[in-house]
């Protein structure tokens, strides 16, 4: 009796061991393979970085070539400037291509929006395109740092209503033009002593009364108006 029970117990134990041996063990995942699969998926930031094009910035080496090409594509020649004192429209001269193209380009980039007429000289000029806020300086950095050559021998004079470009204040024996600013002559009949030194690139064709009103605002030191005169929007017509 005892032997039968021992034999039965042995049989059950062997069957259990055989069953365990037949059951395949689950293979532990390969950690390195798992990591490799996860890392093989591009991160969103990497995709964005690859697709992002490098921003174009103007400089003194590429500006002339850029505006030479840009001038060929520009068909428009009028820009409307809306200020907090009213609006006026300028027509740009086709035979002053770099300065015309520059003014159109900056207008389309939104540069002049929220800049100011920062210099007002009674019975002489109003000068715009600058500001004392950080946003204007930021826009200049994003567009680029460059100057334009003078183009003062196309037969245009500084008549009343002429829009012209001032020279840079930097060491500038060749009177290269500061591209971000402009001035409008209000003198009657004109300020002809400026001819040959600065580049006229257009004229006011509508809203000269607004220009005169700006010229009559009170100013403080440096000819800066006591009350800011803003260019709210500049738009190509």
Instruction: Report yes or no on 23 lying in a domain.
Output: no
Instruction: Report yes or no on 95 lying in a domain.
Output: yes
Domain of residue 80 covers 63-236
3 state SS of 115: strand
Domain of 128, CATH number, reads: 2.40.100.10
| 7 has a pLDDT exceeding 50 | no
Split at pLDDT 50, 70, 90, the class of 236 is very high
- Report the distance separating Cα 63 and Cα 164, nearest Å: 19
Split at pLDDT 50, 70, 90, the class of 173 is confident
Instruction: Report yes or no on 33 lying in a domain.
Output: no
Instruction: Report yes or no on 106 lying in a domain.
Output: yes
Instruction: Report yes or no on 202 lying in a domain.
Output: yes
137: cis peptide before it, omega within 30°?
A: no
3 state SS of 235: strand
- Report the distance separating Cα 120 and Cα 178, nearest Å: 18
Number of independent structural domains in the chain: 1
Structure tokens at 119: 């210099």
Split at pLDDT 50, 70, 90, the class of 163 is very high
Q: Please tell me the pTM assigned to this model.
A: 0.77
Instruction: Report yes or no on 185 lying in a domain.
Output: yes
Split at pLDDT 50, 70, 90, the class of 10 is very low
| 83 has a pLDDT exceeding 50 | yes
Instruction: Report yes or no on 31 lying in a domain.
Output: no
Angle between helices 63-73 and 97-108 (to 10 degrees): 80
Q: What is the DSSP string of 136-193?
A: HHHHHHHHB---B-----SS---BTTEEEEPBPSSS-TT--B-TT-EEEE-SSSB-GG
Instruction: Report yes or no on 49 lying in a domain.
Output: no
């Amino acid at each position: 009796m005892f032997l039968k029970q021992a034999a039965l117990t042995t049989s059950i134990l062997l069957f259990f061991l055989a069953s365990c041996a037949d059951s395949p063990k689950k293979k532990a995942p390969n950690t390195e393979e798992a990591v490799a699969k996860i890392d093989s998926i591009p991160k969103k930031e990497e995709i964005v970085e690859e697709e992002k094009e490098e921003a174009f910035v103007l400089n003194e080496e590429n500006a002339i070539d850029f505006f030479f090409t840009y001038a060929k594509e520009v068909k428009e020649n009028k820009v409307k400037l809306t200020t907090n004192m009213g609006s006026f429209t300028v027509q740009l001269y086709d035979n002053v291509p770099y300065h015309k193209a520059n003014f159109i380009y900056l207008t389309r980039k939104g540069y002049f929006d929220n800049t100011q007429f920062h210099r007002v000289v009674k019975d002489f000029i109003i000068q715009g395109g600058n500001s004392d806020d950080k946003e204007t300086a930021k826009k200049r950095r994003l567009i680029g740092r460059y100057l334009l050559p003078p183009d003062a021998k196309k037969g245009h004079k500084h008549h009343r209503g002429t829009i012209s470009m001032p020279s840079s204040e930097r060491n500038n024996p060749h009177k290269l033009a500061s591209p971000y600013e402009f001035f409008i002559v209000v003198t009657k009949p004109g300020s002809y002593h400026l001819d040959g030194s600065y580049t006229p690139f257009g004229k006011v064709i509508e809203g000269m009364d607004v220009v005169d009103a700006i010229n009559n605002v009170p100013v403080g030191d440096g000819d800066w108006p006591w009350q800011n005169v803003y260019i709210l929007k500049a738009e190509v017509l």
